[in-house]
Chain A
Amino acid sequence: MNILVCISSVPDTTSKISFTDQDTRLDSSGLTYIIGPYDDYALARAVELKEAAGSGNITVFHVGEADSEAVIRKALAIGADEAVRVDSKAKDGFFVANQIAAYAKDKNFDLILMGRESIDYNSGIVHGLVGEHLGIPAISPVMRLEINGREATMDKEIEGGKETLKAILPLVLGCQEPIAEWKIPSMRGIMSARTKSLQVIAPAETDSGLEFQKYELPAPRTSCKMIAESNVAELVSLLKTEAKVI
């Protein structure tokens, strides 16, 4: 099994987001970067599938600048065999998808696993775009994945439930829990990750049809009105007459 796992490098989920340069740049001072949480599930499932098969190769793929090396090394420590980084800022989902498709088109991956969405730009479009570029089905969000020969059985989340589907490899999948449990790198994994191959390649040209303008932070919430525990009737009346939401 030859698996490509695409990972984004994103501010840790506890990060407070702020911007600089007149709201045109993310202020990354003080931010810690992690593997996108959904991408981390995809990686964990890839490692499990390889372990279960007893053979195979996992390549992690990342579009980003040199400062994401630590995040890529972590993916290698978790169990990927090699890594490829496209040396460019990840401008948007179209740009990333084009890079993935350009790299994967002649590599015969059985599975291209991603997260259901990145948690920075949250566009949720990369898997769908890659599937179409490569002419193979893209399915998301996948919460269970079993492989039997060339056949994949998956549970896909739908509104209020799930759907079980079968499809033939190769596939592009957007993953989410509980497809696997996040893995913590072992000491041995961390040691071996240092010497695994990390290939840096130049970006393919693309035009996304999108032009970034600026960022904005949400308006702060007004302070919380506290109501005595013994006075639930007051809460009900405030919700009715002040907030007008019931």
Chain B
Amino acid sequence: MSVLVLLETTDNQIKKSSLEALAFAKHVAGNLGGKVSAVLAGNPSNLSEAALFGADLILQISDPRFSQADARAFAESLLQAAGETQSKTVVLAKSALTDSFAALLAAMWKAGAATNVVSLPDFSNGFVVKRSIFTGKAFEFVKLTAERKVISIKKNAAEAVPNAGAGEIKAFSPQVSAKAFALQTISTEKATGEVLLPDAEIVVSGGRGLKGPENWNLITDMAKVLGAATGCSKPVSDLHWRPHHEHVGQTGIKVSPNLYFAIGISGAIQHVAGISSSKVIVAINKDPEAPIFKVANYGIVGDAFSVVPQLTEALKNI
């Protein structure tokens, strides 16, 4: 019996969120007895970390089609890997890819699925997980009663700490159906070299208080100093000041960084819904009554146009 994890890569590195999924799987395997197996496409430069963070067996796919593959190809491969490793539980880290195949996998495998899981499961009364619901405004506890389980975890659901597994690497050539590569990708536009918002440890976000796209260097300069991702409020992306994939909130990206800067953002409940699982929130707003100060840990009442450049300077010296 084993717990199966999908390892995703970005810029030829296993993602940190995937290492958290390994830590989660290790915890499950520790409680239920069994090993941790992982499926991985490609040959990331930090491959050795998979073993370091808990994988006993790594099934490595070298089929180049997987770099562009759609959800079904991954779902079918995981299904086959689950068969080979006799896994009953699959752990995925939430991402654009896994979001679109967690359900497919559950349906194909006749498994129960829980998405947006925020912490390690509780085994004192069955297999109970805690999920984020109402866009971060609440949680629910659900018991997974099906024999097979698909679990998709949010960032920080488990801490990736070294906890080495056997780390055997095996080549894996999944037999996927013709259907799996049926969707035709015409083009891909992807920002490169930027820190991706959903994975970021620090996010610097700007709102309508910044007045226009020409002032965004305030945000990007500070982000650069911190190695942070940049985000924005919904009106900012609606006005095309920033791309849609930067919009944070109830109808945008939900982030869980260690540190979130809300600059010139009023703190409307829909924006806050997307940032409430941040560890620390810093608000900079010229209005002392702005609702963002109700959810922030640290606040500065002041004009972003003078505060932010000073702050960026001060951050250069840390």
Contacts and interface: CB of A to CB of B under 8 A. Distances in A.
B182 interface: yes
Contact of A236 (B96, B106, B306, B315): B315
Interface stretch (A13-21, A42-50, A73-81, A189-197): A13-21
Given A177-B244, A208-B112, A215-B138, A38 B251 contact: yes
Given A38-B251, A128-B103, A221-B295, A226 B282 contact: no
B244 A229 contact: no
A17 B185 contact: no
A233 B313 CA distance: 10
Given A13-B269, A218-B137, A245-B259, A224 B115 contact: no
Interface in A134-152: 137-141, 143
A201 B244 CA distance: 39
Q: Is the interface of B mostly helix, strand, loop or mixed?
A: mixed
A239 to B, nearest CB: 7
Interface stretch (A1-9, A64-72, A155-163): A155-163
Nearest to B194: A160
A62 interface: no
B142 A157 contact: no
Interface string B204-229: 00000000000000000000001000
Nearest to B108: A132
A92 B103 CA distance: 13
Interface stretch (A51-59, A104-112, A118-126): A118-126
B299 A125 contact: no
B259 to A, nearest CB: 4
Contacts of B273: 13
Contact of A161 (B102, B191, B198, B276): B191
A37 B182 contact: no
Q: Find the residue from B190, B226, B298 having the highest chain A CB count within 10 A.
A: B298
Interface residues of A, number: 77
Nearest to A120: B134
Contacts of A163: 185, 187-189
A123 B314 contact: no
B155 interface: no
Given A120-B133, A218-B137, A246 B226 contact: yes
B107 A215 contact: no
B86 interface: no
B186 A123 contact: no
Contacts of B279: 243, 245
Nearest to B310: A232
Given A122-B135, A140-B99, A209-B111, A128 B280 contact: no
Contacts of A37: 250-251
Contacts of A233: 314
A203 interface: no
A132 B186 contact: no
A57 to B, nearest CB: 26
A129 interface: yes
Contacts of A221: 281, 294-297
Contacts of B270: 13-14
Contacts of B106: 94, 125, 128-129
Contact of B142 (A158, A167, A211): A211
Interface in B63-102: 71-72, 95-97, 99-102
A51 to B, nearest CB: 23
A99 interface: no
A163 B67 CA distance: 13
Contacts of A170: none
Contacts of B140: 121, 212-216
Contacts of A97: 103, 107
B175 interface: no
A98 to B, nearest CB: 10
A132 B104 contact: yes
A159 B10 contact: yes
Interface of A: 11, 13-14, 16-17, 19, 37-38, 92-94, 97, 119-129, 131-133, 137-141, 143, 153, 157-167, 174, 176-178, 208-218, 221-222, 224-229, 232-233, 235-236, 238-240, 243, 245-246
Report the 5 A-B pairs with minimum CB-CB distance, sorted nearest first. Answer: A209-B112, A128-B103, A209-B146, A229-B302, A125-B103
5 contacts: A123-B113, A162-B245, A212-B142, A226-B293, A232-B314
Interface of B: 10, 71-72, 95-97, 99-104, 106-108, 111-116, 128, 130, 132-146, 149, 182-192, 194, 196-199, 202, 226, 244-245, 250-251, 258-259, 269-270, 273, 276, 279-283, 293-303, 306-307, 310-311, 314-315, 318
Given A139-B100, A164-B185, A227-B299, 18 more contacts: A13-B270, A37-B250, A94-B106, A128-B71, A128-B106, A131-B104, A137-B72, A138-B71, A141-B99, A160-B190, A165-B183, A210-B145, A213-B140, A222-B297, A224-B298, A225-B297, A226-B299, A236-B314
